[in-house]
Chains A and B, each alone.
Chain A
Amino acid sequence: MAHYKMLDGNCAAVEAIKMAKVKVVSAYPITPQSTIAEKLSEICENGELEAKYIRVESEHSAMSCAIGAQLTGVRTATATASVGLALMHEVVNVASGCRVPIVMPVVNRSLASPWSLWCDHQDSMAERDSGWLQLYCENVQDVYDTMIMAYRIAEDPRVLTPAMVCLDGFFLSHSMQKVMLPEQKEVDDFIGTYKVKNLHLDPSDPIVIDNLTGSNECTEMKYQQAIGFKNAEDVMEEVFNEFSQKFGRTKAMIEGYNLEEAEALIVCIGSMAGTAKYVSDILRDQGKKVGVLKIVSFRPFPYKKLREIIGNTKKLAVIDRTTGFGGQGAPLWLEVKSALKSDVLVKNYIAGLAGRDVNIETIKNVYTDILEGNDSDDPIWIDCGENVMNIREVLLND
């Protein structure tokens, strides 16, 4: 029987990794991911998980070990955050290019500098073109569910693409919530045992993997990856449907809330979606027609579904938890803006950097601006303090 357990986001991820019966684990600790590395090491040691734990000396090696092991035909696990993900960057691309469908929790944390231990999406957004699927979670149940579904999606032969399951550092990684866990047998039936489907290392069937490839073939191999992303949309639909039938919780690449006749919608990612929904309820009670779109799958980005789901809404407030320096907008805004016709106002709000809480006030300010403000093009740093240039002054205003 399925049962409830109090878990934080990191433990929910570990629970999913355990139930996916990975065989090799290689992880390196970093706040706020550390308890994932610790817990995995513990359960490998006490036999709860029959797997070999490789106590690697860096995230670069963590991903390298995972790639090497999974190429021999076993499911593997690693997890990281922030500068750890940045250090992995080189080999993150090897995993996707070699079509090794690793599923990796990324516990979102700001990138140095300045040093910050706290949540934003700069780390995973910097990897958005690295050829990995990216799924973002709203709450702790969502972390568990998304992990389980990610194995199915990533390993599907039509997709064969690794997946990052992104959970907001501290907001999810360290917050305890009640989580419904299915029986092991149900998970076994849902994700199946791992079978290597393409490149493999086997001395009795030798092949050479990942040698130098000419410009005559690289484009085609990259195109195959692009097709993997295209296919992932259908596969996600199938997997989400099957999951909701079997486990009773629904999921979609993009989820709408309070959409009826909405005048304005906040488009956001991750844990702030909960606050946005709550505020939209309050504002609805006050007669304001506002709602929320939560982007679950950032890669692939469901741009067609976005067009459908907004209906006649003409105002979108996109909140990015990352900076998008020097661009016309930050990553989420760029996706939303380019998906829609120009008769929709799409404004960009930067908020929640380095753990700043995207609270009720911030969300209200965003709704007020999108409903009543002008249609300025520049991103609005909605929760930025006053006298900005006087804080830890870098350029002298002489």
Chain B
Amino acid sequence: MIDIKKESRGYIAHGVSACAGCGMELILRTVLNALGQDTTLVIPPGCSALFCGFGKETGLKVSTFQGNLENSAAYAAGIRAGYEVQGNNHSTVVAFAGDGGTLDIGLQSLSGMMERGDDVLYICYDNEAYMNTGIQGSSATPLGAWTTTTPTGKPVYKKDLLGIAMAHGIPYCASASVANIKDMTKKVEKAKSIQGPKLLHIHCPCPTGWGSAPSKSIEVSKKAVQTGAWVLYECEDGNIKLNNPPKELKAVQEYTKLQKRFSGINEEQLVALQMGITKNFERLMRMQAE
């Protein structure tokens, strides 16, 4: 059924329509390299829908359903059930959704999927806003960041997705980042090997929405990890483990100064942002120790 015009490496065609320096493209290529052909994807509207292509053309070589914004987890649960009753327990069913499709409008169906224990791998690539509709704020937008609907900087903190996942007691969840592809690959492989609901929350640099240089996406992501703005950790069967945490957190400005979305941040917001980051990091370190 596929008419492949030019064979590409991996499971995604060359030349998809993501912006230059897009983290999401790197994430999905990495994810599919780790998962392989025996995968079914559910992709909601959002930037990731660009992989599904347009009309008769697609950028994906794995079976895929483009769903709706709020129900990726439900579609995935249905597909899993369909495979299961036909004796297929080997294919990995993956939802690949943005932060808006996950933390806002899709949170209910995700919660349902996690609570029921459906054998689905849910991946949220977090570019911290609704990028596809023109950079509107989401509940994953960090405090102080500009978006078209937070014109003076977002007044409240980012929602804690992994906290929500852990509260559901799912067998495995982890954060990841393009700052560390090896770590991401390992986590995808581990998630694949575990039965039940799994969630990966992956930090996704977005030059277009963040106002960062396309050539600096990896650097921006690394700074996020070094400042603690993004913490790499995993939670397996309730045990939290930070992955290679920085010995000491760098000041958050080292991260924010690379992005125009923080250029209007005021002193008060900056202090609050730093405080939130430090507290979160210390909290996770404590949870690891317990």
Residues of chain A whose beta carbon lies under 8 Å from any beta carbon of chain B: 23-24, 26, 50-52, 54-58, 60-61, 64-74, 76, 90-91, 94, 201-214, 216-217
Q: Which residue of A lies closest to B84 (CB)?
A: A52
Interface set, chain B 207-241, CB cutoff 8 A to A: none
Report whether B62 and A206 are in contact in the complex, using a CB–CB cutoff of 8 Å: yes
Q: How far is the CA of A381 from the CA of B67 in the complex (A)?
A: 42
Besides A61-B71, A202-B63, 12 more A-B contacts (Cβ < 8 Å) are: A52-B81, A54-B77, A56-B77, A61-B73, A64-B71, A65-B78, A68-B75, A76-B78, A205-B63, A206-B60, A208-B53, A214-B54
Report whether B66 and A65 are in contact in the complex, using a CB–CB cutoff of 8 Å: no
What distance in Å separates the Cβ of A370 from its nearest Cβ neighbour in chain B? 45
Residues of B within 8 A of A61 (CB): 71, 73-74, 77, 108-109, 112
Determine which of B79, B86, B91, B108 lies in contact with A58 in the assembled complex, contact meaning CB atoms within 8 Å: B108
Q: Would you list 12 pairs from A and B whose C-beta atoms are within 8 A, ordered by A residue?
A: A24-B78, A64-B109, A65-B75, A68-B42, A68-B65, A68-B76, A68-B82, A74-B85, A202-B63, A206-B1, A208-B52, A211-B53
* With contact pairs A52-B81, A57-B109 given, residues A72 and B86 touching in the complex (Cβ less than 8 Å): yes
8 closest residue pairs by CB, A with B: A68-B78, A72-B82, A57-B112, A65-B78, A69-B82, A61-B74, A64-B74, A211-B52
Q: How far is the CA of A61 from the CA of B78 in the complex (A)?
A: 9
Determine which of B38, B60, B79, B115 lies in contact with A72 in the assembled complex, contact meaning CB atoms within 8 Å: B79
Report whether A57 and B64 are in contact in the complex, using a CB–CB cutoff of 8 Å: no
Report whether A205 and B1 are in contact in the complex, using a CB–CB cutoff of 8 Å: yes
Report whether A203 and B64 are in contact in the complex, using a CB–CB cutoff of 8 Å: no
Report whether A206 and B64 are in contact in the complex, using a CB–CB cutoff of 8 Å: yes
Residues of B within 8 A of A52 (CB): 81, 84-85
Residue B289 lies at the interface, judged by CB distance under 8 Å to chain A:
no
Please count how many residues in chain B sit with their CB below 8 Å of the partner chain's CB atoms.
45
What distance in Å separates the Cβ of B108 from its nearest Cβ neighbour in chain A? 6
Residues of A within 8 A of B54 (CB): 211-214
* With contact pairs A201-B82, A216-B55 given, residues A209 and B65 touching in the complex (Cβ less than 8 Å): yes
Q: How far is the CA of A176 from the CA of B2 in the complex (A)?
A: 53
Q: How far is the CA of A52 from the CA of B61 in the complex (A)?
A: 29
Report whether B49 and A211 are in contact in the complex, using a CB–CB cutoff of 8 Å: yes
Residue B157 lies at the interface, judged by CB distance under 8 Å to chain A:
no
* With contact pairs A58-B112, A217-B55 given, residues A65 and B86 touching in the complex (Cβ less than 8 Å): no
Report whether B67 and A201 are in contact in the complex, using a CB–CB cutoff of 8 Å: no
What distance in Å separates the Cβ of B155 from its nearest Cβ neighbour in chain A? 30
Q: Which residue of A lies closest to B69 (CB)?
A: A90
Residues of B within 8 A of A213 (CB): 54-55
Q: How far is the CA of A72 from the CA of B81 in the complex (A)?
A: 9
Determine which of A60, A67, A208 lies in contact with B78 in the assembled complex, contact meaning CB atoms within 8 Å: A67
Residue B269 lies at the interface, judged by CB distance under 8 Å to chain A:
no
* With contact pairs A72-B86, A74-B86, A217-B55 given, residues A210 and B65 touching in the complex (Cβ less than 8 Å): yes
Residues of A within 8 A of B86 (CB): 23, 72-74
Report whether B109 and A68 are in contact in the complex, using a CB–CB cutoff of 8 Å: no
Residue B111 lies at the interface, judged by CB distance under 8 Å to chain A:
yes
Q: How far is the CA of A66 from the CA of B37 in the complex (A)?
A: 24
What distance in Å separates the Cβ of B3 from its nearest Cβ neighbour in chain A? 11
Residues of B within 8 A of A201 (CB): 40, 63, 65, 79, 82
Interface set, chain B 145-162, CB cutoff 8 A to A: none
What distance in Å separates the Cβ of A210 from its nearest Cβ neighbour in chain B? 5
Q: How far is the CA of A68 from the CA of B77 in the complex (A)?
A: 8
Q: How far is the CA of A61 from the CA of B77 in the complex (A)?
A: 9
What distance in Å separates the Cβ of A345 from its nearest Cβ neighbour in chain B? 45
Q: How far is the CA of A116 from the CA of B63 in the complex (A)?
A: 43
Residue B30 lies at the interface, judged by CB distance under 8 Å to chain A:
no
